[in-house]
Amino acid sequence: MTSALPFDDFRNLLANLPPADEAAEARVRTLFARADKPAGSLGRIEDIAAWLAAWSGRAPPAVNRPLVAIFAGNHGVTRHGISPRTVAATANAVELCAAGGAAINQVCIANDLGLKVFDLALHIATADITEDAALDERGCAATMAFGMEAIAGGADLICLGDLGVGNSTVAAALCAASFGGSGADWVGPGSGADAAMQARKADIVDAALAFHGAALKDPLEALRRVGGREFAAIAGAIIAARMQKIPVLLDGFAATAAAAVLHAANPTVLDHCLLASLSPEPGQRLAAERLGLSPLLDLGVSHGEGVGAALAAGLVKAAALTSSGMAAAVKV
């Protein structure tokens, strides 16, 4: 008799990802080509509309139930003084979102987006990644499954964001595990770290890489060992969206790092994702380049909360309406 390991289902999903609807994509591109306008004059708007069609199966595409999903987690590694904010700031940010007073609430109102914020056991920080795995395999797999379930409910565009004090250091560790390099290659100011704190962040990443060693070559092992709950939930949401044919907008360094883990497991896993925006965090820019992701927006937003993805969602909605409106005007 054999017993399945917690990650086995995810490994199977990653090995059997559904493809794009190439016919739907072609229909959208044909509609733009036949429209009464100069060829390619709408630039990337045409590409966004075609991408929506490819990953939703609808041509012309539509965005009727967009959702911003924010996953919040806390990290034991913060005990090393890697953030100018206290761990309590994560829960405070979640409460502000719940009260409607956060920046993301206002952007969601402006762009008519749904919003869900998930508290991932904020009262229990993950283990310190310099001396233990952040999560055990069962806990990591359960959190990935939670991320999959969190996007259920009929959304047709998912915007993924994060909250978590210290998670820029964790994101740097995941990127180093996925792409190589040292802590100094991937860390940045995060929420306002000075030069001394950034050096400490780099040392912490290096310590974590050394402690976990060759185990980090396995992407899902890297996710549980040097990741965290919000990273695992975002990874699960990305996989679920692919299986359910829902296009995804990624926002922030944490979401990009979670995406990098999945990309290491299967380079086609992010084809249904677009990068919403780039923060000033140098590690995110470098990771985006390695992943071949070009941001829709580059406004210098480092706020977190999925704000960049919510802003980009307005652009995606406009692309869908442009496609459908122009399609209606095309003479058959």
Residues marked as catalytic: 305
Determine contact, residues 159/238, Cβ cutoff 8 Å.
Answer: no
Tokens 């829709």 label which residue?
A: 296
- What is the residue type of 30? T
CA distance 310 to 251: 9
Helices then strands (H, E): number in the chain? 14, 5
- The helix/strand/coil state of 248 is strand
**CA 41 vs CA 37, 47, 183, 291, 316: distances in Å:** 7, 11, 43, 27, 17
Determine contact, residues 235/228, Cβ cutoff 8 Å.
Answer: no
Determine contact, residues 193/302, Cβ cutoff 8 Å.
Answer: no
Angle in degrees, 0-180, between the axes of helices 167-179 and 229-243, rounded to the nearest 10: 60
Q: Which two tokens stand for residue 229?
A: 């709950």
Q: Which two tokens stand for residue 11?
A: 């490994």
**CA 263 vs CA 37, 85, 87, 217, 303: distances in Å:** 37, 31, 30, 13, 25
Sequence-distant (≥ 6) Cβ neighbours of residue 316 within 8 angstroms: 48, 52, 63, 66, 157, 247, 249, 274, 296
